[in-house]
Amino acid sequence: MTQAKPIEIIRYYYNTQEQNNNDRKAYVAIGKHEEIGSSSDNERRPLLLSTSRPSTTLNNNNNSNRNVPSEMMGLFLMALCALAFASMTLFVKLSGASFPLFEIVFARSLIQTVLGLVSCLFAGIHPFGNRPVRPWLVFRGVIGGFALALNFFSVIHLSLVDTTAIMYLSPIITAILAALVLGESFYLLEGLCAAFCLTGALIVLKPEFLFELLLPLLTAPSHTDDKEQRGLAIFAAIGGAVLTAVVYCTIRKAGAKGPVHFLVHIVYLGAMGALISIPPLLTLQPFIRPKSWIEYGMLGMTGISAFIGQCLLSKGIQMAPAGPASFIRVGDIILAGVFDIFIFHEYPDCLSILGSIIIVGATTVLASRKWEAANEARRRR
């Protein structure tokens, strides 16, 4: 499991492969327009949709095709998804007080692998995917495992609000990587959103060379006095966001080889995460056996809550519009703030709140614009 991931990018990640020859909706990254067609056609489409033309309002015929009850159910599932991922970060932070980092990664990955394999068995899905896609899935799993470890390190040593806000940078980083590596379009809107996200990240991180005079007035005391450890945690959070963006671009390449069910991605991420956590757990960090059922429960819930969140996300993004669904995912940061205050007694300062609002706002604006552009593309057809 990777940490909680933003809807406009993850929309592509959790594209299900349910076969319905009469009416199949292919959902693609960042609000790409829906289209009746094969999944292989969907995989070849770019991650980013051009926003150079202004969007217009749908006509009555398109509005009449909307399934409002289904969309509302999708938004409800997205809200539950936000709760599941926020709960996962909570259990990771609680476990970090008793267990070493890679033991948490191993427990989470192992549980995810088992649940993914069982789900594939019941769904009649080959857990290893098609042969041409497997090398990309292995690479995706390895990168995702390292991203998981970095994100968990930041969750343990930073406040939940700061960590969750930094993780929201992954959609913008993905857009930049898609333009540089995959040769896809990068327009003014993406550039503006990237600039706002960078500004929000600087405000959340509060580097002393920029905020030397304001820090004593606007920030609360840090939950750790170890500035070096906080610095490492900040770099870990940024590194996790970058590797998460690499994962999304890898999924794009894997999709070009053939359709991949989201449960297959879950299996590979869990298996590779478990494997890469074993060497450091045996050499760098001692294995600590849980002393009570509560500690067993905390470790277990890191994997269970993440798996539930991924399943809810995969279904919710099929049913909910991209723009409103992205706004619903803001619940991740709200819940992180609630957990910080009432469980860890850590109060977000003004800069953390302001930076989080800027990051989430820029991400939501981008998703909403892509959603409107997708509606316009459907209307023109």
Per-residue model confidence (pLDDT) at position 228: 77
Q: Which of 113, 75, 122, 108 is nearest to 315 (CA)?
A: 75
Q: Which residue has the tokens 């053939």?
A: 258
pLDDT tens track for 161-209: 889 888 888 878 887 888 888 777 777 887 888 889 888 888 887 766 5
Phi–psi pair at 261, nearest 5 degrees: -70, 145
How is residue 32 annotated by DSSP?
A: P
Output the pLDDT for position 208: 62
Give residue-wise pLDDT tens across range 16-49: 444 443 333 333 333 333 333 333 333 333 333 3
Sorted by sequence, the CB contacts under 8 Å of residue 327 that are 6+ apart come out as 364, 368
Q: Where does the pLDDT of residue 324 fall: very low under 50, low under 70, confident under 90, or very high at 90 and above? A: low
Q: Which of 316, 325, 322 is nearest to 373 (CA)?
A: 322
Residue 272 confidence (pLDDT): 96
Amino acid (one-letter) located at 363: T
- State which amino acid sits at residue 226: D
Q: By CB neighbour count within 10 A (0-12 exposed, 13-18 middle, 19+ buried), where does 58 fall? A: middle
- Pick the range with the lowest mean pLDDT from 37-46, 323-332, 344-353: 37-46
Q: What angle do CA 9, 15, 19 make, to 5 degrees?
A: 165
Cα–Cα–Cα angle for 349, 352, 357, rounded to 5 degrees: 125
Query: Are the C-beta atoms of residues 165 and 352 closer than 8 Å to each other?
Result: yes
Six-digit token string for 216: 């004593």
Q: How far is residue 238 from each of residues 24, 152, 170, 204, 205, measured CA to CA in Å? A: 37, 12, 9, 12, 10
Query: Length of the chain in residues, anyone?
Result: 381
In the chain, the amino acid numbered 348 is: P
- Residue 362 tokens read as 């820029």
Per-residue pLDDT of 256-312, as tens digits, reads: 677 788 899 899 999 999 999 999 998 988 889 999 999 999 999 999 999 999 888
Distance CA 222, CA 218 (A): 12
CB atoms within 10 A of CB 343: 12
If one compares 85 and 27, the residue with the highest pLDDT of the two is: 85
Amino acid at 335: L
Contact 190, 198 (CB under 8 A): no
What percentage of the chain's residues is helix, strand, coil (to nearest 5)?
A: 70, 0, 25
φ, ψ at 309 (rounded to 5°): -60, -40
Residues 95-133 have pLDDT tens digits of: 999 999 999 999 999 999 999 999 999 999 999 988 888
Helix (H) or strand (E) holding 185, with range, is none
Assign 164 to helix, strand or coil.
helix
